[in-house]
Structure 1
């Protein structure tokens, strides 16, 4: 997909914080909802094996490498570097939807991320988001759609990440290409309903214990607000009014009944009762 807009589903309290604070959180990759996205840290890697001095496992890895101690050490070093790189990765994700009307069909998103239809979907202009990210986080970054794959293919992506890192060490690293091809833009197929569009940032200013960065002046990228069918329209409208965001259009999303006229619903209800009475 190559759409002009992306969406962020959230609940009322978070929406209020986003508008009043004029920022969005860019979370550490360690906090992803698909645990497979963090396997690139290689928790049971060669580094782990070496530290535990597990000779049986060490010999097994060495045999794979033709009993070459130098190659073995290079792999340990590369895995250590990838693990350090991973600590500095931060991600902010959105939903990409083909057509505006399709937002009313995103039931899983409204249920899981939109507070059971009481929440909101904030539509952002993708170009304006890019500008904010470039201005505030000029460091190495990548962006793109997530590819949803089987577990076997995800394993391939993880392996490729490591192999390409090893190759890139021989030349200048093309970080954007490295990220896009790697595990960081792949998720298991069960998450495909998210239609995720991800911005991935590499932060030079990493600090232990900092689980997120902030993307500021976010209101400048907001295009439109969609309220879930169970949401309190007036509460959301009041937040925009208090923050002088009169220019942002706000719309309620309807459920399947709301898309029909009152007479159609009435006729169907009477027909249902008629069938029951028979």
Structure 2
């Protein structure tokens, strides 16, 4: 089936004449009936804008289904970064789009559309901010930051700037191998990448996706980072939206106490509010500053980090390095075992004492 035949099949499905279709899309008269091997990019974008339900991949190649699957837009999307990236985002007021040449998916490295992209994570089998793979690959190996954005507000601020946005659809290799050369190919990735559950903004020339503080719904930070850097994060006007993440058995969970024990968390009847860790610093709810002041502080902190970058090691970002942390937890487990053993011995001793006293009274 040719491109022309597929286009006519779609018109039959929606019960529309060729003239009406061409008029709605802003195409030249006779466009539908013209024989062609493919549709040019500018005309393809016109069709996609006027009729978003048509599968552009199917129209161009015949692969897949005629109609796009109904995709529900998420309410919140999450962006993972490291501490310096977070301060840069907050101080500038935008997320910078990346070149496809920097993509970790080799199919996209060879995409010649010229588009730039910004990647986010959606909720899936786990909440988007609690995805352990994302924390490992994009969250600075569990020492970074995850920012939650309200998607509708993010779109509203960037309305009229020409951005396209969509959830990534994960396909088999046969479905995408011929669709990696234009912007349509940026909507699809191989199914091996589905753990990312990605949502994407793309633009042909603009590399700045703007936002304000109202767009930010939440900020997630690992509890392991030390007080100095935690104070940086909670001093930029977002403390009321900031949550601690504690990695229990390698899986991230929200929590507000400085102990990885599930039993300890269950015993905590009144969890501490906010992000501050009561076992590291005394809890004190910070009053958030204004957005302009927060951006100014973030810029100052970023300059400080850049100035001292050559002297800083990874362990400077955490309260304890991993070896010390593991030793502390092991030591705590041993102490708990010793305490339990002493309690048992004390119980036996008390019972023996009661029996001895009773015997003395009886003999008397």
Cα deviations by residue, 1:108-142 (Å, 9 ceiling, x for unpaired): 1111111111111100010111012215x2x3x32
For structure 2, the 5+ residue unaligned runs are 1-71, 250-259, 267-328, 338-364
Alignment of 1:37-56 (within 5 A): 37-41=108-112
Distance 1:219 1:185 in 2: 28
Query: Which structure would you say has the larger RCO, counting Cα contacts within 8 Å and 6 or more residues apart?
Result: 1
User: 1:122 maps to which residue?
Assistant: 147
Distance 1:90 1:239 in 2: 28
User: 2:237 maps to which residue?
Assistant: 244
User: 1:90 maps to which residue?
Assistant: 116
Cα deviations by residue, 1:132-173 (Å, 9 ceiling, x for unpaired): 2215x2x3x3221111122222114348x6xxxxxxxxxxxx
User: 1:214 maps to which residue?
Assistant: 208
- Give the alignment's TM-score, normalised by structure 2: 0.46
1:19 counterpart = 2:21: no
Contact 1:95 1:195 (C-alpha < 8 Å) held by counterparts: yes
Distance 1:4 1:188 in 2: 24
Larger radius of gyration, structure 1 or 2?
2
Contact 1:12 1:236 (C-alpha < 8 Å) held by counterparts: no
Closer, same or farther: CA 9–232 of 1 in aligned 2, 3 Å: farther
Task: State the Cα RMSD in Å.
Answer: 3.3
SS in 2 for 1:33: coil
SS in 1 for 2:97: strand
Alignment of 1:228-267 (within 5 A): 228-232=222-226, 235-241=229-235, 243-246=236-239, 248-257=240-249, 258=260, 260-262=262-264
Contact 1:104 1:254 (C-alpha < 8 Å) held by counterparts: no
Structure 1 or 2: larger strand share? 1
SS in 2 for 1:157: coil
Q: CA deviation at 1:94?
A: 0.4
Structure 1 or 2: larger helix share? 1
Which 4+ stretches in 1 moved above 6 angstroms? 263-266
Cα deviations by residue, 1:15-73 (Å, 9 ceiling, x for unpaired): 111112222101233332212024343xxxxxxxxxxxxxxxxxxxxxxxxxxxxxxxx
- The alignment of Structure 1 onto Structure 2 pairs a total of residues equal to 193
For structure 1, the 5+ residue unaligned runs are 42-85, 162-178, 206-212, 274-278
Distance 2:106 2:212 in 1: 28
Distance 2:224 2:120 in 1: 22
Contact 1:228 1:254 (C-alpha < 8 Å) held by counterparts: yes
User: 2:131 maps to which residue?
Assistant: 106
Distance 1:144 1:229 in 2: 32
